[in-house]
Amino acid sequence: MERVNANWRRTLLRSSSVILLAVAWEWGARMHFVSDFLLPSLSSVLTRLFEDIVSGDILVGLGLTMLRTLAGFTIAAAAGIVIGITIARIRVIRWFFDPVVSVGNPLPKIAFLPIFILWFGVFDWSKIAMVAFSSVFPVVVATWAATESVDKYLLWSAESLGVSKRQLLWQIVLPAAMPQVFTGLQIALPISLIVVIICEMTMGGQGLGGSMMTSMRFADSPGVFSGIVAIAIVGSLVVKAMELIRKRLLVWHEENAH
């Protein structure tokens, strides 16, 4: 019981800034420092969000947004891990990808959005491809760095015992690199959600981003803010889920020793 109470107190302290922000939002809106159109009250926004959930409208948009997010993220994760490992272990691949990653990683990927629209149109595939392209670089960089940082003496010892290259990769390199790889995945996942929302706002169609733009066109301020709140809640849950997956898969690692 004491442990449960301690966990609740810790959670409350971590959420205190969000609670204070919510109280300030409601108080500021009720004091009419700005018009209701520019800043509707939090209570009215939550009421609108509840109504959209009951009607099912926001659930459809949320489902499409998350489907595109997870599809693009999965592609980026698989491609990024493979590319990162091959860069670290194959000299020719490193020679080719090193300048590409050096130039592409700091580049704002959303600048390529017009090109993706020209190539793939404005439907789901272009949004998923844009997400995968935007999210792959953090995974590549993290996997590359993690693979190269594996203890060389550990690798030499395994090779001296006759371990094959395939066994070396699956039984030593990947387990040793996984904590840092997961860090790259945890960076890439919020990026995937952000890019999906931007794509939906730009390209239109169903989804949270598209619903927010529709509300904006009809001067529906509570609808716009309810979309923002929904994205914030979903983003927080997605990030938390990724943290739980990391703890579950890396239960053997020293970072989970406490």
Pair of tokens at residue 28: 């500021």
Q: Is residue 226 part of a domain?
A: yes
Cα torsion angle, 174, 180, 181, 186, sign: positive
- pLDDT, tens digit, for every residue of 153-196? 677 676 677 777 777 777 777 888 888 999 999 999 999 999 99
Give me the helices (H) in the chain, please.
Answer: 2-14, 16-30, 42-55, 57-89, 91-104, 113-120, 124-148, 152-160, 165-168, 174-203, 208-217, 221-249
CATH code of residue 147: 1.10.3720.10
Per-residue DSSP letter, 169: I
Counted domains in the chain: 1
Q: Is residue 25 part of a domain?
A: no
Query: The whole model's pTM is what?
Result: 0.86
Residue whose pair of structure tokens reads 């849950």 in the numeric block: 237
Q: Name every residue whose Cβ is closer than 8 Å to that of residue 237 and which is 6 or more positions away in sequence.
A: none
Mean pLDDT of the chain, nearest integer: 86
* Percentage of the residues of the chain whose pLDDT score is greater than 90: 35
- Residue 161, SS3 per DSSP: coil
For the segment 190-218, the average pLDDT, to the nearest whole number, is: 90
Q: Is residue 41 part of a domain?
A: no
Q: Is residue 122 part of a domain?
A: yes
* Percentage of the residues of the chain whose pLDDT score is greater than 70: 90
Q: Is the per-residue pLDDT at 248 higher than 80?
A: yes
Report how far Cα 25 is from the mean position of its chain's Cα atoms: 26
pLDDT in the model for residue 124: 87
Pair of tokens at residue 77: 């994760």
- pLDDT, tens digit, for every residue of 63-106? 999 999 999 999 999 999 999 999 988 889 899 988 888 888 88
For the segment 20-27, the average pLDDT, to the nearest whole number, is: 88
Q: Is residue 79 part of a domain?
A: yes
Q: Is the per-residue pLDDT at 208 higher than 70?
A: yes
Contact (CB, 8 A) for 191 and 140? no
State the first-to-last Cα distance of the chain, in angstroms, to the nearest integer.
19
pLDDT in the model for residue 204: 80
Nearest 5 degrees, angle CA 216-CA 118-CA 141?
A: 90
Q: Is the per-residue pLDDT at 206 higher than 70?
A: yes
Q: Is residue 44 part of a domain?
A: no
Q: Which domain holds residue 77?
A: 49-250
When pLDDT is cut at 50, 70 and 90, the band that residue 138 belongs to is very high
Q: Is residue 34 part of a domain?
A: no
Q: Is residue 7 part of a domain?
A: no
pLDDT in the model for residue 8: 63
When pLDDT is cut at 50, 70 and 90, the band that residue 136 belongs to is very high
